[in-house]
Structure 1
Amino acid sequence: MSDLKASIAVHYHERTKYDPETIRAKSKSLNWSQQPVPFKDYKIGVSFDLKPYLNNPPPDPTAEWWQRLSKLLFCSYGLTGMIPTDAEPHYVRAAPSAGGLYPAEIYLISRGTPFLPAGLYNYQAKTHSLLQFWESDVWTSLQSACFWNPVLEGTQLAIILSAVFYRSFWRYEDRAYRRIFLDTGHLLGNLELASSLNDFRPHLIGGFADEAVNQLLYLDSQQEGTIAVMPLADVREVNQNLPLTQTALPSSTQREYPDLDDGALLDYFHQTTQILLNPTAKVNWKLSPAEEQDKYNFPFCLKMSTVSEAIAWGDQLIDLEQTILRRRSTRAYNGAALTLDELKALLDFTYQPQHYVEQDLDGSPDYFDLSLVETFIAVSSVTGLEEGCYYYAPKAQELRQIRFKNFRRELHYLCLGQDLGRDASAVLFHTADLKAAIKRYGDRAYRYLHMDAGHLGQRLNLAAIHLGLGVSGIAGFFDDQVNEVLGIPADEAVLYITTLGRPRRP
């Protein structure tokens, strides 16, 4: 055993960094015969077809409820496109996924409602249906596994997100763990917004006994693991307009672990970030006070206000729904400039949800801990804004310049030679002080950080598409060199990159 000062989360992060000197040696060709199928299949169960409820169901309460649930699931993770291949077509979903691998699964637990019998359900995205694979009421077991979170006392439905690890590991190996949680964050972003579209309110729970929830869902823990639990409140029911609760609980911090071979790190790390079931545990679910100030206020730097008019999402949010369903990742930019007003609008929708309450969007959506996630922006071409690297201060709603330079050439290099980095007008970096996060939440903080970064990234995605801009997330980059080149403080571990620009038309 190794007695190391670094926790397993820090060790994992260091081990899975891309480095210019070693990336070629570590790269391997894909075995296409072993490519995983991104859909889960059940041999037995009762299927509830959701397709008839997508368009104009009969005007009765039962059909209306089913339409709301159908649209929620479809806008969150439904199939929105198909790319022909020589074999099985490649299906595109509402939420983006690294490599189009879609590691997440959606489960639904019903406590027993007038519309949906008690039991366990899997969302079958390929057929847009719910497959009931267990008929008994398991709600009390869910409450116990979630340490009696009070939201579960007042709700009748819960969404559970899991990850089938091999779907991403097949391509990205141990670094896949980062992508799995970024992808889950994208899905959380969709679930948040699609819930508002359909009069639901998801309450995020990241603190749960992992193995207890896995067993409840009959998951094979060697292949699949629970990632997030979301009690789903029906806001049309007065008694389900519930107060917010704490979303994240800490795990242990492990500093003794074996020497792990490449390929074994992901599974071991996931096991060590789990929380054990403790029936006598007492959890304070009250929200912690919000941070009042932005983390960085660099002296003598140029500051630019980002206060902006809210993006208009149309009557009954119809434009938001259409944007979710037509979202695609941009493959190439033309290098033309964004306007400062466009950049401000993107930041406003992503970081200032309170500005959208009048449009019936949630003004305080659930994250795990946004005070731990920082945002830096490398500006290459934004009309009205000097080139350079900026820190975005969401509470002050301003950009603070930390370095003066055009970084196009460096961004091309940092993003592993991807033209998206070079040709983008602006490149946004989500970062976190990993050691500070682990001090607060143990090694499980690694999950929370990446899901929050993915959630923010999905809001950026949708705002950019709505404004007619291009956007694409990048999870592969030279980690340490990002900080060195852009002037980002060394303590900030890079979590995610989002490129923004004007798409190159075919």
Structure 2
Amino acid sequence: MPDLQVSIAEHYHERTKYDPQTIHTKSQALNWEEQPIPFKSYKFGASIDLKPYLSEESKDDWWQRLSKLLVCSYGLTGAIPTNGEPHYLRSSPSAGGLYPAEVYLISRGTPDLPAGLYNYQAKTHTLLHFWEAEVWNSLQSACFWNPALEQTQFAIVLSAVFFRSAWRYQDRAYRRIFLDTGHLIGNIELACAMTDFRPHLIGGFADEAINQLLYFDAEQEGAIAVLPIADLSKVREHLPLARTALPTAPQLDYPKIPDGGLLSYFHQATQIPYHANAKVNWTVPESEEHSDKYNFPFCLKVSTVCNPIRWDTNLRGLEQTMIHRRSTRAFSGEPLLLEELNAILDFAYQPQHYIDQHLDRSPDYFDLNLVETFVAVSGVTNLEDGCYYYAPRAQELRQIRFKNFRRELHFLCLGQDLGRDASAIVFHTADLKKAIEQYGDRVYRYLHMDAGHLGQRMNLAAIHLGLGASGIGGFFDDQVNEVLGIPPDEAVLYITALGRCLQRASLSGQR
């Protein structure tokens, strides 16, 4: 049995690292004839057209809010012409534009939304009611009676169609799937704030029970997250926070797994089994607050306290940013202002500064105590080049290495010019071994969704400020730690590159 001293999550992480010595030998030519379609189709069901409710003249408030929530979360926002079917773009970014996530609605049954199962058809902006039945009790049972499901009337379930991403990224696709899901969760959180809803994140559920409820072929598609949606226009749905993550036992005994089979095996190994009589304490522990981990003696410390970004009346600036957002393809290399970098970090990490704009002061994550943030600065005015640790509680950057890293960042980001030309690159990391001690192997999902959620907030803040942002999921894992001076026990989860675009798009609502 391989790697008996490490859990399957650690084994997966090591097996899917990119290394400069082997990356070219392991890469595979893409079979473009097998490129998956990023839309799910059904041969039956009743379709509900959501497009009319996007109009300001719509008189149906609830449907108008739901329509805006879905289009801002995962709706189509553009198209790139091709020789055949256009390549459609969505409000949520996805690695390689592959969009592995699917969005489902489960309704308890209301006059607006009859009971049953729905799939969001992003291509047509419709809801497909493909199963009409009382299913809410089954959802509650599969989620071990999470209190967020007691008063809410509908829930969003996010799934992953694994091959959509694995077609290009092979086994490493599992990382990107959960980063993409994190982007989507970030969009749902903010779109709910714009529409007077509140999502309650659930990552602890019985996987097989949810998969069966939604009629998934578990070899092809799996549930990733459940989000009961509270309607804040109804007082009874103003719910307290609940625990979002449940642990699994670390798996230390596993067979030799061939390349190409690791993703599927790992996903199965991190599932929570269903127990009809399971008792879960969903109360959030009082101690759950992010602590600043690294405080190096005598290091340069720079305050990130700033004026919050203003998102305009009724969050119109945020809505426009979500609709017009595009991942940046090229940076100019020109420096950012320190105030701009501070504003991006502030929006991502200090949600309490935005309650006067009716944003959630405490959005749901799985466990931000596990995620650390480092910033490699190559061009920020009034900030010395180098690598910094970002301390969110103290709201300051703490320098840990003195150097301009442009050349090294170009290498670390697999030779992408984005790494070389960015003004600042944000690295999300986690002590994987300690995280597994707390949550078991399932924590690998939680870590990457939280990193994607944070990355999406930074992405939107940068775009709103007229800057560029691009998420990078491909990098030389171990070399990042070596070059930047990040402690070796920190596993790199995600990279977000920030800078000035070669061609800056004009968005309404810029600060």
Which TM-score bucket, shorter chain as reference? over 0.9
Contact 2:17/2:476 (CA < 8 Å) preserved in 1?
A: yes
TM-score, structure 2 length as denominator?
0.98
AA aligned opposite 2:31: N
Q: 1:280 aligns with which of 267, 277, 281?
A: 277
* Deviations 1:103-130, CA, capped at 9 Å, x for gaps: 0000000000120100000000000000
Whole-Å Cα distance in 2 between the matches of residues 488 and 455 of structure 1? 22
Query: Cα–Cα, structure 1 residues 392 and 3, in superposed 2: closer, same or farther, change >3 Å?
Result: closer
Q: Which stretch has the larger CA shift, 292-301 or 215-224?
A: 292-301
Task: Give 1:334's aligned residue.
Answer: 332
Contact 2:58/2:64 (CA < 8 Å) preserved in 1?
A: no
Q: 1:424 aligns with which of 422, 425, 429?
A: 422
* Deviations 1:156-203, CA, capped at 9 Å, x for gaps: 000000000000000000000000000000000000000000000000
AA aligned opposite 1:435: K
Aligned length: 503
Gaps of 5+ in 1: none
Contact 1:57/1:67 (CA < 8 Å) preserved in 2?
A: no
Task: Give 1:244's aligned residue.
Answer: 241
Gaps of 5+ in 2: 505-511
Q: Which stretch has the larger CA shift, 222-231 or 282-291?
A: 282-291
Whole-Å Cα distance in 2 between the matches of residues 76 and 167 of structure 1? 19
Task: Give 2:201's aligned residue.
Answer: 204
Verify: 1:267 aligned to 2:264, yes or no: yes
Q: Which stretch has the larger CA shift, 290-299 or 195-204?
A: 290-299
How many angstroms does 1:291 deviate by?
3.0
AA aligned opposite 1:476: G
AA aligned opposite 1:93: R
Task: Give 2:440's aligned residue.
Answer: 442
Task: Give 1:20's aligned residue.
Answer: 20
How many angstroms does 1:300 deviate by?
1.1
AA aligned opposite 1:401: Q
Verify: 1:354 aligned to 2:352, yes or no: yes
How many angstroms does 1:9 deviate by?
0.1
Contact 1:483/1:489 (CA < 8 Å) preserved in 2?
A: yes
Whole-Å Cα distance in 2 between the matches of residues 243 and 150 of structure 1? 9
Whole-Å Cα distance in 2 between the matches of residues 399 and 54 of structure 1? 42
Where do residues 250-399 of structure 1 align in structure 2 (5 Å cutoff)?
A: 250-288=247-285, 289-291=287-289, 293-399=291-397
AA aligned opposite 1:305: S
Contact 1:415/1:474 (CA < 8 Å) preserved in 2?
A: yes
Q: Secondary structure at the match of 2:354?
A: helix
Whole-Å Cα distance in 2 between the matches of residues 472 and 33 of structure 1? 28
Where do residues 457-496 of structure 1 align in structure 2 (5 Å cutoff)?
A: 457-496=455-494
How many angstroms does 1:28 deviate by?
1.0
Contact 1:432/1:449 (CA < 8 Å) preserved in 2?
A: yes
How many angstroms does 1:397 deviate by?
0.3
Contact 2:462/2:468 (CA < 8 Å) preserved in 1?
A: yes
Task: Give 1:179's aligned residue.
Answer: 176
* Deviations 1:125-161, CA, capped at 9 Å, x for gaps: 0000000010001000000000000110110000000
Where do residues 25-174 of structure 1 align in structure 2 (5 Å cutoff)?
A: 25-59=25-59, 63-174=60-171
How many angstroms does 1:290 deviate by?
2.0
Q: Secondary structure at the match of 1:256?
A: coil
How many angstroms does 1:57 deviate by?
3.7
Whole-Å Cα distance in 1 between the matches of residues 87 and 76 of structure 2? 10
* Deviations 1:361-416, CA, capped at 9 Å, x for gaps: 00000000000000000000000100000000000000000000000000000000
Contact 2:423/2:500 (CA < 8 Å) preserved in 1?
A: yes
Q: Secondary structure at the match of 1:483?
A: helix
Task: Give 1:224's aligned residue.
Answer: 221
How many angstroms does 1:299 deviate by?
1.1
Whole-Å Cα distance in 1 between the matches of residues 123 and 471 of structure 2? 24
* Deviations 1:427-484, CA, capped at 9 Å, x for gaps: 0000000001101110000000000000000000000000000100100000000000
* Deviations 1:186-241, CA, capped at 9 Å, x for gaps: 00000000000000000000000000000000000000000000000000000000
Whole-Å Cα distance in 1 between the matches of residues 291 and 270 of structure 2? 30
How many angstroms does 1:56 deviate by?
2.2
Whole-Å Cα distance in 2 between the matches of residues 291 and 460 of structure 1? 20
* Deviations 1:53-77, CA, capped at 9 Å, x for gaps: 0012443xxx111000000000000
Whole-Å Cα distance in 2 between the matches of residues 292 and 181 of structure 1? 22
Contact 2:3/2:11 (CA < 8 Å) preserved in 1?
A: no
Task: Give 1:235's aligned residue.
Answer: 232
Where do residues 447-458 of structure 1 align in structure 2 (5 Å cutoff)?
A: 447-458=445-456
Whole-Å Cα distance in 2 between the matches of residues 246 and 417 of structure 1? 40
Whole-Å Cα distance in 2 between the matches of residues 423 and 436 of structure 1? 34
Contact 1:469/1:503 (CA < 8 Å) preserved in 2?
A: yes
Q: Secondary structure at the match of 1:12?
A: helix
How many angstroms does 1:292 deviate by?
5.8
Whole-Å Cα distance in 2 between the matches of residues 429 and 2 of structure 1? 30
- Cα RMSD between the aligned structures? 0.8
Q: Secondary structure at the match of 2:218?
A: coil
How many angstroms does 1:87 deviate by?
1.1
TM-score, structure 1 length as denominator?
0.99
Whole-Å Cα distance in 1 between the matches of residues 139 and 288 of structure 2? 28
* Deviations 1:66-94, CA, capped at 9 Å, x for gaps: 00000000000000000000111000000
Whole-Å Cα distance in 1 between the matches of residues 261 and 57 of structure 2? 49
Whole-Å Cα distance in 1 between the matches of residues 305 and 288 of structure 2? 21
Whole-Å Cα distance in 1 between the matches of residues 3 and 359 of structure 2? 49
Whole-Å Cα distance in 2 between the matches of residues 341 and 2 of structure 1? 49
Q: Secondary structure at the match of 1:496?
A: strand
Verify: 1:407 aligned to 2:405, yes or no: yes
AA aligned opposite 2:323: L
* Deviations 1:266-323, CA, capped at 9 Å, x for gaps: 0000000000001111101000222363111111100011001110000010000000
Contact 2:270/2:441 (CA < 8 Å) preserved in 1?
A: yes
Query: Cα–Cα, structure 1 residues 58 and 335, in superposed 2: closer, same or farther, change >3 Å?
Result: closer
AA aligned opposite 2:420: R
Contact 1:57/1:64 (CA < 8 Å) preserved in 2?
A: no
Contact 2:291/2:369 (CA < 8 Å) preserved in 1?
A: no
AA aligned opposite 2:358: D
AA aligned opposite 1:358: D
Whole-Å Cα distance in 1 between the matches of residues 39 and 187 of structure 2? 19
